[in-house]
């Protein structure tokens, strides 16, 4: 990949596609891996002059190396995006991945927490009213009552909170903003947390809502460990993560009568197809209610 192509592709992902720095680096790394493979196996031929058979050879080598189909599909998606960019900027005439079909993958069932598990987790009595315990409980409440993503919570700013209107402004994927309602009980906890936050001795990342005691903003691993720890005493589920709480939020809303479009807007999905993955749990609940309630099943 020529240097000018690499820099221009980075600008395209950042400015036009509005991807996050993490996503941009992942795309560039994936394209870079193919570039290295291409040089090693096919000499110095430029990456923008390859054909599908060469890409197919890369796919085969990844499979032989034991790389999962999910990961391979992600790498090919990055490469496909690069070729779409070259096509758009008229640097190539044909996208070599135009007719490529994604590899089949097993759909992993995301098991949400039950309502009972949530009640038990949020009913855990604090040993004290210190800053960290107030913050941790609020984080769990926000994940469960708003359905926001982990990165959205980490990047919440203090000025994104509007206690008067009971709303939060969230910056989602591709820098899309959305307004989320917050429940009165969560607004009370937010107010308490903000008061305790103001008492921190040294605030470094002052713009961010959630901080550690040293005044620095949270990171991904901190939030993951927090959720995992919080639910370890109330749930035996293997996976206990912020994403499972987001999944739980959507599932519980649908189970209790929320329509799919409303849940889509709350989650910040661009299409209903993304939201429909949560309906399997709702269907399970619906079947249970149906079987318990229908007269024909009582005979």
Q: Which tokens belong to 260? A: 């799919």
Burial 160-176 (b: 16+ CB within 10 A, else e): bbeeeeeebebbbeeee
Q: Which tokens belong to 190? A: 């937010």
Q: Please pick, among 75, 135, 264, 269, the residue that the annotation labels catalytic.
A: 269
* Catalytic residue list contains 246: yes
* Catalytic residue list contains 149: yes
Q: Which tokens belong to 161? A: 């909170």
Q: Please pick, among 6, 100, 173, 178, the residue that the annotation labels catalytic.
A: 173
* Catalytic residue list contains 174: no
How far is CA 241 from each of CA 63, 173, 192, 237, rounded to the nearest angstrom? 29, 19, 25, 10
Give CA–CA dist 151/154, Å, rounded. 5
* Catalytic residue list contains 12: no
Instruction: Give 145's contacts (C-beta < 8 A, 6+ positions apart).
Output: 182, 183, 186, 249
Q: Please pick, among 246, 247, 252, 264, the residue that the annotation labels catalytic.
A: 246
What residues are paired with 179 via a beta bridge? Answer: 169
* Catalytic residue list contains 100: no
Alpha helix stretches (DSSP H) within 111-166: 115-122, 131-146, 150-154
Q: Please pick, among 149, 150, 155, 264, the residue that the annotation labels catalytic.
A: 149
Question: Cα dihedral sign for 195, 200, 206, 212?
Answer: negative
Give CA–CA dist 265/275, Å, rounded. 9
Q: Which tokens belong to 126? A: 């604090």
Instruction: Give 99's contacts (C-beta < 8 A, 6+ positions apart).
Output: 52
Give CA–CA dist 104/283, Å, rounded. 25
Check if the beta carbon of residue 266 is closer than 8 Å to that of residue 296. no
How far is CA 90 from each of CA 93, 130, 203, rounded to the nearest angstrom? 7, 59, 49
Collapsing DSSP states into helix, strand and coil, what is residue 290? helix
Q: Could you list the active site residues?
A: 149, 173, 243, 246, 269, 278
């Amino acid at each position: 990949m020529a240097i000018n192509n690499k820099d221009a592709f980075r600008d395209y992902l950042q400015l036009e596609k509005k991807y996050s720095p993490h996503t941009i680096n992942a795309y560039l790394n994936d394209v870079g891996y193919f570039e290295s493979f291409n040089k090693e196996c096919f000499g110095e031929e430029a990456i923008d002059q390859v054909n599908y058979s060469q890409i197919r050879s890369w796919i085969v080598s990844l499979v032989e190396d034991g790389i999962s189909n999910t990961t391979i599909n992600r790498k090919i998606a990055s490469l496909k995006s690069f070729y779409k960019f070259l096509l758009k900027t008229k640097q190539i005439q044909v996208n070599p991945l135009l007719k490529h079909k994604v590899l089949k993958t097993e759909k992993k069932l995301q098991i949400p927490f039950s309502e009972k598990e949530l009640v038990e987790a949020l009913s855990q009595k604090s040993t004290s009213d210190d800053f960290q315990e107030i913050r941790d409980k609020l984080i769990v409440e926000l994940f469960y009552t708003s359905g926001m993503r982990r990165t959205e919570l980490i990047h919440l700013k203090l000025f994104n909170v509007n206690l008067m209107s009971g709303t939060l402004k969230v910056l989602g994927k591709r820098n899309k903003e959305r307004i989320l309602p917050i429940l009165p009980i969560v607004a009370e906890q937010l107010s308490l947390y903000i008061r305790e936050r103001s008492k921190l001795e040294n605030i470094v990342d002052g713009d961010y809502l959630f901080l550690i005691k040293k005044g620095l903003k949270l990171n991904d691993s901190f939030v993951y460990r927090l959720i995992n720890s919080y639910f370890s005493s109330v749930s035996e589920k293997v996976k206990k993560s912020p994403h499972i709480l987001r999944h739980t939020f959507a599932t519980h809303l649908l189970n209790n009568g929320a329509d799919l479009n409303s849940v889509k807007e709350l989650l910040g999905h661009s299409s209903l197809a993304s939201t429909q993955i949560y309906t399997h749990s709702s269907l399970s609940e619906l079947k249970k209610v149906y079987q318990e309630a229908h007269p024909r099943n009582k005979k």
